[in-house]
Structure 1
């Protein structure tokens, strides 16, 4: 018999007695100072989930789209990174609020509010997004292993299956230790690109101009394809499910005041973390623009080519090594978050609970098989195209996560006094409209 949910979880309007705490092994395991506690201590207690979410915004799939955009179009697509980062900040704050206020993650809310056929469709679409994300991690990690240790691509892809053991080890150490490991790798990535930017000496005026939106992004089909890939790589659908779950690892007061504090601190946490992700994404594009585009190398879209050319272009041998180290750290970090998201989605949508190692093995195999085939048949050029395509697939899945999230957080019956104010409803639906419109335009370009 399914145990009843904890008494302090707000249940949805539909009768769903089988909804249990999201990530039950980590649910409310991190203490938060109670009323009267230091603001800084409370902020420190809530710091962490935002950085786990930020990992998905700088995974290897971003590298391919940012490199392609920077080398082909210079600094122009910086405006797309800025816009998509702002979209991400808004949507992730809504995901955190949904989890804190209702006690349900986004997948559980969909199961509670939608009919069985609808939630099955949403589940399948989300699983496709996770597989696409995992595909990017597999390819990115394999490329990093090849660049650092000269391991063949096919063998590197196969070796990525071993990261199941890393994830199991980290999960057994506790959620706070998992967060610390992820933050450490994020520091490595950001540090590597800070050095790369110093060496590349980019044009600051051109960076400022690149942050201003340009009509050519929409009118140029090649630029639009990469722009949508950047949006898909930045606003990631499974991250919305992930964030609405992991904010519940904090043991905050379930009063209205306690929830408001939790929403505020969770929003600050995710916004700061996503600013770090925006820096990394922008740094990759700026590096490609300042190193390759200005030299007339507009076709540098492969990570391997960028690695090979960076050292001679920047006049520093360490440039290529730092690039590969950051790529490896990015791949490993993204592996962890994709595993957590997969567990949350499967349990939330269909209440199917399987061992973490089994879930990870199945997901990783679904990513490894196409990656091995492409690597064996087409080599590095094929794997890079696979990376960019995986990000476009992610972008096409976005409406299936964004629309329910905005709908639920705008529903007063579900959110009570925490319902989105009118200005936020307008902004959130506008973001949804932009994403859907861009996706439809991409599909028309593809078929016509």
Structure 2
């Protein structure tokens, strides 16, 4: 439990004493490193807060999303577009709560858990979050290795081993400043968006069919194979580690640490994340739409592997560059995900157990754990095995969601923790409803799996 004598402990009535926020600060090397103008046009304040939302959006379009979106589009057409929309709306709400927690309390979600829960609970939450990060990293290793194979004909095992070198990418970018890191991420997001915009134009899907896909269909819940993919999409879209990450990186802004400054920061940071997540929605929907318009309508209803999608795109669309654009976007996605997953790993390790490791050391450990199963499965089962491993990683991510979502909603709803920034009743009801839906869907999948 939180020590009432701690400098970060809330006072009665939810008031938190002013303190030096650099003490036990989340990501101390970049804490308050981005200046925010006190005056001037609203556009400059918007740009000052723009960045963290786009770094968060990376997790919503990583290689894991590609596996579930491709499988969903090729097997069930546009049906699962409704799930992508629903999961993205959930993500917007949960990331807004993460922003509010980080700015209002000066703590990230991991630090808040450490302050409020007992050691056994904290260790359990930490392990659950580490498993989620490893599952996410697993998807990044597979996705990047496949992209290297498709673009440069590098064997899959060699490509997986090469991904270990990206441990030093984050270190290089962080040394240049947090804004440079954000610019790198946004540049790769532009590449991904441009690639899929061109592919959508080539596929020319039926607008009416796409719009119908955004309307929920009963079969999403009644058919287990559809539900399995639906939960995989939710797991790939609403990332557990993103909730920890966002509550930390919003504190890189040097806003005024008083009620007025925090209120202003919450508003601009929420706008930033909402716009960025709408971009993620468009890209995720684009992947599924391309798969539905290209594969499903041509009778290829079992395209679950990224390699198969690469080989089929150009012949089916009749445009030679289509497959290259697909692989290029995949490589950009894998590189981007590397940056955010590393930061998230550092935040949860420092926040839960106060264990600090050099960025390169943390990255090599996490990446090493992810590389081993990829190499083993590829050696035994070939490319098919890695495709199944990729889908499984997204379901594992989904299973970890309740362990991040429930503490976040609880803290955001607690006046003693949030003070004047506690969420209103309607938001509280909505947030707990989202948490209940996530837990309920996971329980249904677990029971269906156990029942065979």
TM range (shorter): over 0.9
Alignment map for 1:56-135 (pairs within 5 Å): 56-135=59-138
| Cα 1:10–1:260 shift into 2, 3 Å | farther
- Answering whether residue 359 of structure 2 is matched by residue 366 of structure 1, we say no
Give the alignment partner of residue 393 of structure 2, picking from 390, 394, 403: 390
1:11-410 to 2 correspondence within 5 Å?
Answer: 11-12=9-10, 20-34=24-38, 36-410=39-413
- What residue in structure 1 maps to residue 3 of structure 2? none
Shift of residue 39 of structure 1? Answer: 1.0
Secondary structure of the corresponding residue to residue 398 of structure 1: helix
Q: Is the 8 A contact 1:237 1:398 kept in 2?
A: yes
For 2:407 and 2:348, locate their aligned partners in 1 and report how far apart those are by CA, in whole Å.
Answer: 14
Q: Is the 8 A contact 1:19 1:108 kept in 2?
A: no
- Give me the whole-angstrom Cα distance separating, in 2, the residues matched to 1:12 and 1:447: 44
Question: 1:37 deviation in Å?
Answer: 2.6
Residues 12 and 112 in structure 1, CA contact (< 8 A), matched pair in contact too: no
Is residue 10–residue 101 contact of structure 1 (8 Å, CA) maintained in 2? no
Q: Give me the whole-angstrom Cα distance separating, in 1, the residues matched to 2:339 and 2:379.
A: 26
Contact kept in structure 2, 1:189 and 1:326, CA below 8 Å: yes
Q: Distance in 1 between matches of 2:424 and 2:149?
A: 50
- Say if 1:31 and 1:212 are closer, same or farther in 2 by CA, change over 3 A: same
5+ residue gaps, structure 2, are 1-5
The Cα shift of 1:194 comes to 0.1
Deviations 1:262-286 (A, max 9, x none): 0000000000000000111000000
8 Å CA contact 1:67–1:284 kept in 2: the answer is yes
Q: What is the distance in 1 between the residues matched to 2:134 and 2:401?
A: 14
Q: Partner of 2:420 in structure 1?
A: 417
CA contact (8 A) 1:94 1:406 kept: yes
Aligned to 1:3: none
The alpha carbon displacement at 1:255 in A equals: 1.7
Q: Secondary structure at the match of 1:333?
A: helix
| TM-score (normalised: structure 2) | 0.95
Query: 2 CA distance for matches of 1:188 and 1:194?
Result: 10
Q: CA 1:391–1:365 in 2, change beyond 3 Å: closer, same or farther?
A: same
CA distance in 1, matches of 2:75, 2:312: 15
Distance, in Å, in 1 between the alignment partners of 2:232 and 2:249 is 26
The alpha carbon displacement at 1:11 in A equals: 4.1
Contact 1:164 1:361 in 2 (8 A): yes
Looking at structure 2, the residues matched to 339 and 23 of structure 1 have their Cα atoms a distance apart, in angstroms, of 12
Q: What is the DSSP-based 3-state SS (H/G/I as helix, E as strand, rest coil) of the residue aligned with 2:205?
A: coil
TM-score by length of 1: 0.96
Equivalenced residue count is: 440
Which stretch of structure 1 is more off in the superposition, 157-166 or 283-292?
Answer: 157-166
Distance 1:12 1:53 in 2: 28
Q: Is the 8 A contact 1:148 1:325 kept in 2?
A: yes
Mapped partners of 1:126, 1:435: distance in 2: 16
Cα RMSD after superposing both structures: 1.6
Do 1:398 and 1:435's aligned partners in 2 also have CA atoms closer than 8 Å?
yes
List structure 1 runs of 4+ shifted beyond 3 angstroms: 9-15
1:396-420, Cα deviation, whole Å (9 max, x unpaired): 0000000000000000011111101
Shift of 1:10: 5.2
How far 1:375 moved relative to its partner? 1.1
Deviation at 1:12, TM superposition (A): 4.6
Are the equivalent residues in 2 in contact too, given 1:291–1:314 (CA < 8 A)?
Answer: yes
**Distance in 2 (alpha carbons) for counterparts of 1:115 and 1:76:** 43
Match of 1:428 among 428, 431, 446: 431
